[in-house]
Amino acid sequence: MAPVLATDFRPTPLALLRAAAKRQGLAVRTALLDIEACDPLPPAELVVAADVFYKAETALAMARRVAEAYLRKSARDSEDASGPG
């Protein structure tokens, strides 16, 4: 199973998620993340977002974070393709 990192800008939902995951025997890491702040998304192969389109500010912030993550991956893929030194 691929590693899972769940984020939220509030600690209570993350605590509830950890408890539910533990009861089900699932390995889930959690981290506080406010997408409207300047922090980038953590590295990931897949990003799933929920409840981020209710406010225009949050939707725009999510779009910026996804674009940043895509550009990071594109830059990394370009470096990998160029080979060593």
pTM exceeds 0.85: no
| pLDDT over 60 (residue 84) | no
Q: Of all residues in the chain, what percent carry a pLDDT higher than 70?
A: 86
Q: How confident is the model at residue 42 (pLDDT cuts 50, 70, 90)?
A: confident
Q: How confident is the model at residue 57 (pLDDT cuts 50, 70, 90)?
A: very high
Instruction: Please name the residue that has the structure tokens 């594109």.
Output: 74
Over residues 27-34, the mean pLDDT reads: 93
Of residues 62 and 39, the one with the higher pLDDT is 62
Q: Which of 43, 48, 54 has the alpha carbon at shortest distance from 76?
A: 43
3-state DSSP percent of the chain in helix, strand and coil, to 5: 45, 10, 45
